[in-house]
Amino acid sequence: MASWSVVRELPLARWQDFLEREEHANIYHTPEMVQVFARVPGHTAHVWAAVDATGTPAALFTPVLITLRGGLLRGWTTRAVAYGGFLAEEGQRGMDALAALLHAYREQVRVPLFTELRHMHDPSPWQDVLRASGYRWEPHLNFLLPLHEGEDALWRRLNRTARKNVRKAEREGVTVRAVERREDVAVCYDFLSQVYTRARIPLAPRELFFAAFDILVPRKMAYFWLAYHEGHPIATRITLAYKGTLVDWYGGAASAARNLRPDDYLVWHVLRWGAAQGYHTFDFGGAGHPDTHHGIRRFKAKFGGEQVNYGRSTYVHHPWRLRLSQWAYEKWRRMGSK
């Protein structure tokens, strides 16, 4: 039986080799994505890995500690999110490594209210380990589209509303271009800010997007898109790219331009582009809890992807503190909506 050591640093070669050989590795597990989050104020990113006696990892995850307020409020406003969930070898070796990893993490990490694993693959084989480690699973939907089918098949997947919206955008002269200038990242951020302000949801600092542009875009691990109408930008979509999968990361449009249907057109543009570039899967980046987020889910469902329910698993470090924080957050949202 292997003896596991849990480390918070990995030699780059071992890290990348593990990602290459594991089918379920995603962009959030990469050293590049950890570097991106490390540049963002209020964010602390690390890799945690369970390694055997030879230093070879068999399980890892990359939780990001996100703090909204520092000082005395730090313990009340910090959460940890593993955006890509965990990565572990299949079989008993991977389960043992994951159990050791989650145990060490639970013993050593005290600050966040909770830690959330956002699964990007089916966690069913590891559910016993997750439950034994104190993680509670909740449903969370997503849509996956098979880009390898090609443009014609993708078009047939779109429902009537999506096709109508794409055609309307085309008639109105909406065009899409990849962002090449760093200063245009600020334009993308302004569109995102409008959307998140309307929804009363905190948006990540703009440094996240500049870091992604600086680190990921040169490596073809991210693409920033802008939709234009009559020469003016009206909407944005940002996609991540890794191991044949495109992930829908962020998107937003100017309120005044929504009748031009740039959101639908941007998604369709990315689908066509991804298929032409040889990507095999488009991951819509989540579609919410089955009982909520109906608008988001309706929008994403229009494109005909396979609905999956990989869910999220959460470990609560401070139950009573979390309840009070959730109460305060919901009160703030209700006040803002009046």
- Residue 275: CATH number of its domain: 3.40.630.30
With cut-offs at 50, 70 and 90, classify the pLDDT of residue 323. confident
Query: Which residue, 236, 231, 232, is CA-closest to 209?
Result: 236
**99 vs 93: CA distance, rounded Å:** 10
Residues 46 and 90 sit within 8 Å (Cβ to Cβ): no
**77 vs 336: CA distance, rounded Å:** 19
The residue-averaged pLDDT of 264-283 equals: 99
Give the per-residue pLDDT at 258.
93
Residues 52 and 58 sit within 8 Å (Cβ to Cβ): yes
**225 vs 322: CA distance, rounded Å:** 37
151 phi/psi in degrees, rounded to 5: -60, -45
Structure tokens at 157: 């997947």
**144 vs 282: CA distance, rounded Å:** 6
The reply to whether 13 and 157 lie within a common domain is no
Parent domain of 106: 5-140+310-337
The reply to whether 303 and 321 lie within a common domain is no
The reply to whether 131 and 146 lie within a common domain is no
**258 vs 264: CA distance, rounded Å:** 10
The answer on pLDDT for 332 being more than 60 is: no
Give the per-residue pLDDT at 121.
98
The reply to whether 68 and 126 lie within a common domain is yes
The residue-averaged pLDDT of 307-311 equals: 98
The residue-averaged pLDDT of 201-219 equals: 97
The reply to whether 244 and 298 lie within a common domain is yes
Structure tokens at 249: 């990361």
Percentage above 70 pLDDT, the chain: 93
The reply to whether 71 and 169 lie within a common domain is no
The reply to whether 17 and 66 lie within a common domain is yes
Residues 62 and 95 sit within 8 Å (Cβ to Cβ): no
Give the per-residue pLDDT at 72.
62
The answer on pLDDT for 69 being more than 80 is: no
The reply to whether 49 and 187 lie within a common domain is no
The reply to whether 103 and 154 lie within a common domain is no
Residues 46 and 10 sit within 8 Å (Cβ to Cβ): no
If one counts every other C-beta atom within 10 angstroms of the C-beta of residue 209, the result is 24
The reply to whether 115 and 175 lie within a common domain is no
The residue-averaged pLDDT of 150-158 equals: 98
Per the structure, how many domains does the chain have?
Answer: 2
Structure tokens at 21: 């050989």
Give the per-residue pLDDT at 243.
98
Chain mean position to CA 249:
6
The answer on pLDDT for 173 being more than 70 is: yes
DSSP assignment of 54-122, as one string?
TS-EEEEE--EEEESS-GGGGGGSEEEEETT-EEE-SSHHHHHHHHHHHHHHHHH--S-SEEEEE-SS-
pTM, entire model: 0.94
Question: Which residues, 6 or more positions from 234, have their beta carbon under 8 angstroms from its beta carbon?
Answer: 174, 227, 228, 253, 254, 257, 260, 262
Structure tokens at 121: 């693959």
The answer on pLDDT for 221 being more than 70 is: yes
The reply to whether 154 and 125 lie within a common domain is no
Cα torsion at 34, 35, 38, 44 (round to 10°)?
A: 20
Sheet holding 114-118, edge to edge: 43-45, 64-67, 78-82, 114-118, 312-316, 136-138
Residues forming beta bridges with residue 136, ordered by sequence position: 314
The reply to whether 55 and 201 lie within a common domain is no
Residues 93 and 129 sit within 8 Å (Cβ to Cβ): no
39 phi/psi in degrees, rounded to 5: -90, 0
Residues in the chain, overall count: 338
Query: Which residue, 141, 254, 280, is CA-closest to 198?
Result: 254
With cut-offs at 50, 70 and 90, classify the pLDDT of residue 330. low
Query: Which residue, 93, 82, 80, 81, is CA-closest to 18?
Result: 93
The answer on pLDDT for 107 being more than 90 is: yes
